[in-house]
Amino acid sequence: MKLIVKIIFPILLLSCASQDIKVSKFAKIDERDEYENNYISNKKKSIDKIEFFEFFFDNIFNPPKKKKFVSLDIDNKIYKKNLSLLTWSGHSTFLFQKKNINIIIDPHFSERASPFSFIGPKRYIPSVLNSENLPKIDFVAISHNHYDHLDIPSLKKLHKKFPNAYYLVPLGDKKLLEKNGIKKVIEFDWWQSFKIDDVEFTFTPVQHWSKRTLSDRNKSLWGGWWINIDDYKFLHLGDTGYTKDFIDIKKKLGKPDLVAIPIGAYKPRNIMKLSHLDPEEAVKTFIDLEANKAVSMHWGTFILSQENVDDPVIDLKKEMIKYEIDQKDFLIPKHGETINLDKLQSR
């Protein structure tokens, strides 16, 4: 494994170039010219590179035991008009539909979440949605540039199929998309909003980091997407650790009607704690936001960590009992499941 690390390191190093950082109105920039989180410093959060890559390849060669999950067929309701729907395609990919506006968030259809086609986290359950079976897409929103969230092959396919769609990306990621022929790209700083017709997007801070090469760490922002359509407020938290940012979101934007909260990729905690919620923290996040409903994501699709692949759901159910949260309020959809938002009952 250490030999592979030594081989991959130079390949990554040769493939990358330095990147200038853009000035943010709200995100701090440290002495290394990197964006910082609001409530932890980069020094506290830094992880030894070799330690991280050894953990990365340990997931490949000594992965947790796999388990088969139910994957549903496409629900034909997604092709109908005037329905309020949310479809989970696996990992962090959601299709959000309301008032005939179709938004896909963190679309990932590829076999691997990796810069390489031959190595890296491999999908063990196919993406239910893909560029060929989607309804017309109006907006594509990206939470951050990690390979399991910003997948260039998927974005290129979407752009070819839906050339008029807007692409909403964090500050620092526009150039990457444009380099790959994708047009109508809008960059967002934290708390920046964009309104067109009946939909308003706001990019919110969360606690995470960004990186695609060895020289671009934290050169682009990361965050969540607050989407308001006809006064229905949906929040997608991307990747995040547990943070006071959630309280800030509630104070600035209000209580979401529905929030998508990541529940997986949380072990080992010495590496994952500051960047990824565990199930207990996911429940606390739901409580902090005072959201009406929550939906789980970021589990059961790629092996990114060392917990068993079904542990996130098992542990989440335990934590909901502990915190007296009704399972009707924190939904755990199956891969490909479509939720009718109009039928969700208020708490």
Task: State yes or no: pLDDT of 8 exceeds 80.
Answer: no
In a domain, residue 156? The reply is: yes
The structure's pTM equals 0.91
Each residue's pLDDT tens digit, 232-251 = 999 999 999 999 999 999 99
% of the chain at pLDDT higher than 70: 87
Q: Does some domain include residue 266? A: yes
Give residue 59's pLDDT band: very low, low, confident or very high (50, 70, 90).
low
Q: Between these two residues, 180 and 63, which has the higher pLDDT value?
A: 180
Per residue in 243-272, pLDDT (tens digit) is 999 999 999 999 999 999 999 999 999 899
pLDDT in tens, 25-39: 999 999 999 999 999
User: Per the domain annotation, does 248 fall within a domain?
Assistant: yes
> Distance (Å, rounded) from C-alpha 4 to C-alpha 274?
27
Q: How many domains does the chain have?
A: 1
Residue 10: pLDDT over 60: no
Tokens matching residue 56: 């990365």
How is residue 94 written in tokens?
């959601």
Q: pLDDT tens for residues 298-345?
A: 999 998 888 989 999 999 999 999 999 999 999 999 999 999 999 986
Q: Which residues lie closer than 8 Å to 131 by C-beta, 6 or more apart?
A: 109, 154, 157, 158, 160, 161
Residue 1 clears pLDDT 70, i.e. is over it: no
Report the DSSP pairing between strands 199-204 and 193-196.
antiparallel
The answer to whether residue 347 sits within a structural domain is no
Query: At 48, is the pLDDT very low, low, confident or very high (cuts 50, 70, 90)?
Result: low
Sole residue written with tokens 């299709």: 95
> In this predicted model, what pLDDT tens digit does every residue of 158-202 receive, in sequence order?
999 999 999 999 999 999 999 999 999 999 999 999 999 899 999
CA–CA separation, 87 and 301 (whole Å): 15
120-160 pLDDT, tens digit each:
788 889 999 999 999 999 999 999 999 999 999 999 999 99
Per the DSSP assignment, residues forming a β-bridge with 188 are 170
270-308: b (≥16 Cβ within 10 Å) or e: ebbbbbbbbbbbbbbbbebbebbbbbbbbbbbbbbbbbe
Give me the pLDDT at residue 118, please: 80
Domain ranges, residue 298: 2-17+25-342
What's the mean pLDDT when you consider all of the chain?
Answer: 91
DSSP string, 76-143: GGGGSSS--EEEEEETTEEEEEETTEEEEES---SSBSSS-SSSSPBBSS--S--TTTPPPP-EEE--
Residue 40 domain flag = yes
Strands 338-340 and 330-331: unpaired
Q: Tell me the pLDDT band of 6, cut-offs 50, 70 and 90.
A: very low
Amino acid at 212: R
**Quick one: pLDDT band at residue 16, thresholds 50, 70, 90?**
very low
Res 12: pLDDT: 46
- pLDDT(205) > 90: yes
Is residue 225's pLDDT more than 60?
yes
Report yes or no on 6 lying in a domain. yes
* Residue 84's CATH number: 3.60.15.10
